[in-house]
Structure 1
Amino acid sequence: MKLSWAVSLAIVFAAPLSADPLGPEDFIAVDPAQAELGQLLFYDKILSGNRNISCGTCHHHEFGGSDGLSLGIGEGGEGLGPARRPGTGDAAIPKRIPRNASALWNLGHASVDTLFHDGRLSVSDRFGNGFDSPAEEWLPEGLDHVLAAQALFPMTSQFEMAGNPGENEIAVLIHDRIDRAWPVLAKRVRTIPEYGEMFVKAFDHIDRADEVTIVEIGNALGAFIASEWQSYDSPYDAWLAEGTALPEAAERGRQLFFGSARCATCHSGPLFTDQDFHALGLPAFGPGRTRRFDPMPRDVGRMGETDRLEDAYAFRTPSLRNVALTAPYGHNGAYPTLEEMIRHHSDPETGRDRWRPEMAKLPEVPWLAAGDFAIREDRFEMARQARAVELRGLALSATEISDLVAFLEALTGETAQDRPLGVPDRVPSGLPVDRP
């Protein structure tokens, strides 16, 4: 039976494309003892080459699981969040992190099987260890889920946690082969008596501390991330489950989101993401994610992993849950506010034209300044990126954009800033824990 326009519209307004309400049953099962162990490891700098940065430095509770910067300052930096600085002397950073630090909300959802902006880690039988990853066949077997696997890779990144060649044994080993550093990091951890005891208690198959490998470390970190960052108690969830009315502006924004603004075309499902890749044509800047045969300071996104031209400049659709807590926005943090990000979606060509470097949240690094925006001077590259844009303009009004922002703010969990474990007071290594 063909429905009338009015009835069809009513169905859209009443039954969004985000499916059933989220709940704890939708997430991977986690051992609480492993999650508590993972919390300490997450904030312990023992896992970095120079013992000066932790996972939590760039994915901190204070900043919604991110760092508040467009492009992060990794190994060698000092401070936290927007106040982080590039370091001094021999420890000063030689490069900015080329992409925005992704937030961690709901990555433990059972549907998540691909991670990173370019999807370079995914669940797969390709290499016989359960994952298609940058480590290929050298990724060890036994990792519980994709979050556990993901946790291992920042440790092997020169500019994130490993450090520069010649500074420490970890940095030397990863330049030999990606997996060579993991046993050394595992030994650092398991030889700390407090950690050794915790691993024995948390893992049934571990009887002695010397049995701990990077697999158990990854599984503990994955357990923490999966359980700590679950969020499904937003005003929108109350509307979805109980019919609790949203504020008027947020309700108008909801109708736009699932209706004429077409946001739900990509931001669909309970996590508000299709977990696919799309080229939005965000303004380019930064060092880029260069490849060995392509030294230009550009980021080709998904194509860097697939080598398919149709994937050029496409990046993974982020979840929108708690998005109001995780500015700036985009794979490179190009836009400082939700309003600006929506404006770009509404009219990407105008967005690219009106974007200015001062919109990027980049701590000053004088020795890198000449290259921060160099890619924007390459008119051929800018034309290539513009041609790849998938978005089609919608000409949203200022009021409509404001209403969409109100709806996105209604996706913020009531307990989003009150996490189960939070930041530990101390870590077993005795190294300092980053705090604002």
Structure 2
Amino acid sequence: MIIAGGPAGATEFPPPLRAEDFLEFDRNQAALGQLLFYDKILSGNRNISCSTCHHPKFGTGDGLSLGIGEGGVGLGPERSAGSGESRIRKRIPRNAPGLWNLGAREVDTLFHDGRLSRSDSYENGFNSPAEEWLPQGFNSILAAQAVFPLVAQFEMAGNPKENEISGALHDRIDAGWPILAKRVRVIPEYGGLFVDAFDNIDAAEQVTIVEIANALAAFMATEWQSIDSPFDQLLNGDDSALSTAQMRGADIFYGRGNCEQCHSGKLMSDQRFYAIGVPPFGPGRTRRFDPMARDVGRMGESDALEDAYRFRTPMLRNVALTAPYGHNGAYPSLEGIIRQHLDPDRALAAWRPENAALPVVPWLSAIDFIIWQDKREMARQMSARDIGDVDLADKDILDLVDFLGSLTGSSVQNPPMGQPTKVPSGLPVD
């Protein structure tokens, strides 16, 4: 699609993103998934829900650079690390991504390092951390993704000896899912809802983690489908949908800014992996048995040296709502992450620890920025670059920020279902 832009002239834009580009989900399953998404029954210690780290108040994220998972207290940027024996043992090593448009048919890879992808490698439809132990029957890659935070120690499962879920996981990753499924299905209200929503369920005893995940996916895909931003209106033929500054920014994004090289197509992501030099900090995610507090990115999944420090290109609808930015939330503003893309080395040299939104955790502070003391590791990360410098003026950067603001959906504040006031478990809703 070519639309006449501002001073840059005719700009080629992607085709519009429309309802038919998304998978269809059962509305009854989505309504059930809404309750499950906000219910802490799915966590090992019954104290954290999916919504804790992916809350609509914070753009379906948590407003933190690195999340506070199991053991934390509160919500969003005010969430604390807890205290006493139940306090957190580790920061979540990556930024909580937004959940917008994950029900799109084109989505084939999830997580910052792509450790979940559609594949027949294990004859269950996915290449995942559960390998051949991942159950079959998921309705989408989004459903497959939903089961992994539930069994992640520092996210939702809890620490060893704290509950039956965390204990089972030390046997095998799939050992916790049947326990969670039983927890849910023995609640009479949930049992009835599953029988009503799923054709393959005639009695509550038949509910497995697959139906739970399918309901969660149905809710997330339905609730956070966003295709009505001013930019979407432009792609659908409304030439006046963007302001003059936003149109200049669009011309830069799809022109001399080279942004479209990675943020391409209808979803504004090629779903591939690049090393762009985001400042490192936190515990990171490494290869198995790697003792260093670093994040090797895609290499952690592929074990290929050429994938070191590469991360998945994020989709950009509603990006203005999902700060902070980067795989570890290193930049609090869109301007900051744009400048980082334009000149990674200069941005790295100018970056300061106070840029990170990290709740104070005294017992973990010693390792938060320890990676900066390892000169060899920092040199390795600085040498890994898949993007080159781009020369843009300050006014061009501001125009890009304005354009990214035009990707915010017009109806994001009025989702189809919203947040429930109570859930069948009786546990409190954040």
2:38 aligned residue: 43
Equivalent of 1:113 in 86, 108, 112: 108
2:427 is the alignment partner of 1:431:
yes
**Counterpart residue identity of residue 64, structure 1:** G
2:114 is the alignment partner of 1:155:
no
**Counterpart residue identity of residue 287, structure 1:** P
**Counterpart residue identity of residue 87, structure 2:** A
2:26 is the alignment partner of 1:31:
yes
State the alpha-carbon separation in 2 of the partners of residues 415 and 240 from structure 1.
Answer: 17
SS of the residue corresponding to residue 122 of structure 1 reads strand
2:410 aligned residue: 414
**Change beyond 3 A, Cα 1:68–1:10:** closer
Deviation of residue 176 (structure 1)?
Answer: 0.8
**Change beyond 3 A, Cα 1:352–1:261:** same
| Superposed counterparts of 1:181-330, under 5 Å | 181-245=176-240, 246-330=242-326
State the alpha-carbon separation in 2 of the partners of residues 31 and 322 from structure 1.
Answer: 25
State the alpha-carbon separation in 2 of the partners of residues 293 and 53 from structure 1.
Answer: 28
Deviation of residue 90 (structure 1)?
Answer: 0.5
Q: Judge conservation of contact 1:13–1:259 (CA < 8 Å) in 2.
A: no
**Counterpart residue identity of residue 109, structure 2:** T
2:350 is the alignment partner of 1:343:
no
2:382 is the alignment partner of 1:356:
no
| Superposed counterparts of 1:104-143, under 5 Å | 104-143=99-138
Show structure 2 runs of 5+ residues with no match.
none
Deviation of residue 244 (structure 1)?
Answer: 3.0
State the alpha-carbon separation in 1 of the partners of residues 12 and 95 from structure 2.
Answer: 29
| 1:264-300 deviation digits (Å, cap 9, x = unpaired) | 0000111111110010110000011133321100010
Please give the TM-score of this superposition, normalised by the length of structure 2. Answer: 0.97
2:399 aligned residue: 403
State the alpha-carbon separation in 1 of the partners of residues 161 and 289 from structure 2.
Answer: 24
| 1:239-270 deviation digits (Å, cap 9, x = unpaired) | 11123321111111010000101100000111
**Counterpart residue identity of residue 169, structure 2:** I
State the alpha-carbon separation in 1 of the partners of residues 324 and 6 from structure 2.
Answer: 34
**Counterpart residue identity of residue 93, structure 1:** I
**Change beyond 3 A, Cα 1:199–1:364:** same
State the alpha-carbon separation in 2 of the partners of residues 338 and 95 from structure 1.
Answer: 27
Q: Judge conservation of contact 2:6–2:244 (CA < 8 Å) in 1.
A: no
Bigger mean CA deviation after superposition, 285-294 or 366-375: 285-294
Number of equivalences:
427
**Counterpart residue identity of residue 93, structure 2:** P
| 1:365-409 deviation digits (Å, cap 9, x = unpaired) | 111111100001111011000111111111221101000000000
Bigger mean CA deviation after superposition, 70-79 or 281-290: 281-290
User: What is the identity percentage for the equivalent residue pairs of Structure 1 and Structure 2?
Assistant: 64
State the alpha-carbon separation in 2 of the partners of residues 51 and 224 from structure 1.
Answer: 21
State the alpha-carbon separation in 2 of the partners of residues 323 and 9 from structure 1.
Answer: 22
Q: Judge conservation of contact 1:158–1:164 (CA < 8 Å) in 2.
A: yes
Deviation of residue 165 (structure 1)?
Answer: 0.2
SS of the residue corresponding to residue 363 of structure 2 reads helix
Show structure 1 runs of 5+ residues with no match.
1-6
SS of the residue corresponding to residue 396 of structure 1 reads coil
1:99 aligned residue: 94
Bigger mean CA deviation after superposition, 237-246 or 79-88: 237-246
1:3 aligned residue: none
State the alpha-carbon separation in 2 of the partners of residues 223 and 47 from structure 1.
Answer: 17
State the alpha-carbon separation in 1 of the partners of residues 327 and 37 from structure 2.
Answer: 23
**Counterpart residue identity of residue 310, structure 1:** E
State the alpha-carbon separation in 2 of the partners of residues 326 and 418 from structure 1.
Answer: 17
State the alpha-carbon separation in 2 of the partners of residues 284 and 274 from structure 1.
Answer: 24
Please give the TM-score of this superposition, normalised by the length of structure 1. Answer: 0.96
